[in-house]
Amino acid sequence: MEWFGRATVDFTHSTTPLSLKKKDGTTTNISKIVKGAVPPCQLNPLLYNGHLQTMWTAVKEHGPQIYYRRKIFHAQGKTCAGSFAVDFVTEPHDDADESLPPRTAYYSEEKLAKIASNDTRPMLIALHGLSGGSHEIYLRQGIAPLVESGDWEVCVVNARGCANSKLTSGVLFNARATWDIRQFVKWARETFPNRPLFAVGFSLGANILTNYVGEEGAECPLKAAISVGNPFNLEVSNKALQRTTLGKHVYSKTMGESLKRLIANHKEGLLKTSKLDFERIESVTYIHEFDRAVQTVLWGYPTETAYYRDASSSDAVLAIKIPFLAISALDDPIAVSEAIPFGEFEQNPHTVLCTTSLGGHLSWFEVGGKRWFAKPIFNFLTSMVSEIDLDAITPGSNPEPCGIPSVSEFVATRRKLELL
């Protein structure tokens, strides 16, 4: 047990971290920016391990009052046909739609027509965790300091079918579903051409974001990105869940049941657009059984472990070419420490991994109920905007790890699944 809730904070990064030019003409690097942004981690001493921290999320407090307006996007490619919803943080309003999560309403046609802007305000794009959405308390706590500062534009890309969004095809989200975030970032770049774009992902959303940033490589339109509670190696994380009583019968079962409810909510449409066996899905208890019954059927994976290997973001870390911060708790019972790719973070000069000895999964509860991770998110992003010359950042400008050319190349974001 850590002394009175004080967690140990450690950093893993390259010995030659990415050099960054400051607005005053001096230089710094990504490691210094991160270490300056991460405060001491003082958590609630009564929640003294990862299980207690994680289970405390079941205590449903109201959380920050974040208001949204929703825009529906239709997929541009036939392969990933369907639609997804993006919720934009707005000023408080009193016209929430009862069919949507609390404090959320659709944009009117008139307001949508005026959404484009040439302003230079920084914009954060958030991705939520498994079967969640913009309404989740952890996500609202994570973005609240930026919203309350009044200096940022913030939005949340909801996974398909989540946050009361309509599922319009048989194409669901999965752990490597980078197509919707890619389409949205492209749209944001065109609609807000002068805004520097940043992103944060939580849990499954962190895995998706890491894959996306790695796939984009030196062409990534984002100025920086943050991963929080990323499971990284999904096969390792899932085996760890099945290995213990709490992992299997509490965490895996809870996630499996949540996904079953999500599928049930969209059963009518999925009966028309997919070949899912709903009797088989009804017999599902654990998350790996859900992935076996749903993800393998929808995407053609032979087994759920093949899906986990294909969708894991651990190798994608090597391909990241923008400033990238990952925050993980070593006592996380879901995104387990053995799945964290420490070596990959040491190899890539664009990345820094911050680990805490306490925190659980998307928890890090302090006394009073706030979550510690909101502080490094806010500090890192505001430091990047206020201190760093963002225009001087050239993705991929640092030499390759160790500066040693090789006779062969490891393609970090190679994928085995071919989308036909």
What DSSP string describes 367-398?
TTS-BTTHHHHHHHHHHHHHHB-GGG--TT-S
Parallel, antiparallel, or unpaired for β 153-157 and 123-127?
parallel
Cα gap 412→217, rounded to integer Å: 10
Q: What pLDDT does residue 415 have?
A: 64
Q: What pLDDT does residue 261 have?
A: 96
The pair of structure tokens assigned to 43 is: 């958590």
Q: What pLDDT does residue 398 have?
A: 46
What does the pLDDT average to over 41-59?
Answer: 94
pLDDT at 244 over 90: yes
Q: What pLDDT does residue 90 have?
A: 97
Q: What pLDDT does residue 60 have?
A: 73
Could you give phi then psi for residue 109, rounded to 5 degrees? -60, -35
Distance of CA 106 to the CA centre of its chain: 24
- Burial class for 39, CB neighbours closer than 10 Å (0-12, 13-18, 19+): exposed
Within the chain, how many helices (H) and strands (E) appear? 16, 14
DSSP character at residue 249: I
Q: What pLDDT does residue 356 have?
A: 98
Could you give phi then psi for residue 85, rounded to 5 degrees? -110, 140
Q: What pLDDT does residue 384 have?
A: 98
| Per-residue pLDDT reduced to its tens digit, 341-391 | 999 999 999 999 999 999 999 999 999 999 999 999 999 999 999 999 999
Distances (CA, A) of 271 to 111, 278, 297: 35, 9, 13
CB 378 within 8 A of CB 69: no
Task: Pinpoint the residues of the chain covered by CATH 3.40.50.1820.
Answer: 3-233+312-398
First to last CA, the chain: 51
pLDDT at 105 over 70: yes
Q: What pLDDT does residue 418 have?
A: 62
Confidence tier at 197 by pLDDT (50, 70, 90): very high
Cα gap 275→232, rounded to integer Å: 29
| Per-residue pLDDT reduced to its tens digit, 206-235 | 999 999 999 999 999 999 999 999 999 999
CB 9 within 8 A of CB 356: yes
DSSP 68-121: EEEEEEE-SSSTT-SEEEEEEEES--S---TTSSTTEEEPPHHHHHT-------
Residues with catalytic function: 203, 332, 361
Q: What pLDDT does residue 269 have?
A: 92
Q: Selecting from 3.30.1330.80, 3.40.605.10, 1.20.1730.10, 3.40.50.1820, what CATH number does the domain 3-233+312-398 have? A: 3.40.50.1820
Q: What pLDDT does residue 200 have?
A: 98
**% of the chain with per-residue pLDDT over 90:** 88
Distances (CA, A) of 105 to 70, 71, 73, 145, 168: 6, 9, 15, 22, 19
pLDDT at 394 over 80: no
127: part of which helix (H) or strand (E)?
A: strand 123-127
- Burial class for 59, CB neighbours closer than 10 Å (0-12, 13-18, 19+): exposed
| Per-residue pLDDT reduced to its tens digit, 121-140 | 999 999 999 999 999 999 99
The pair of structure tokens assigned to 221 is: 């339109």
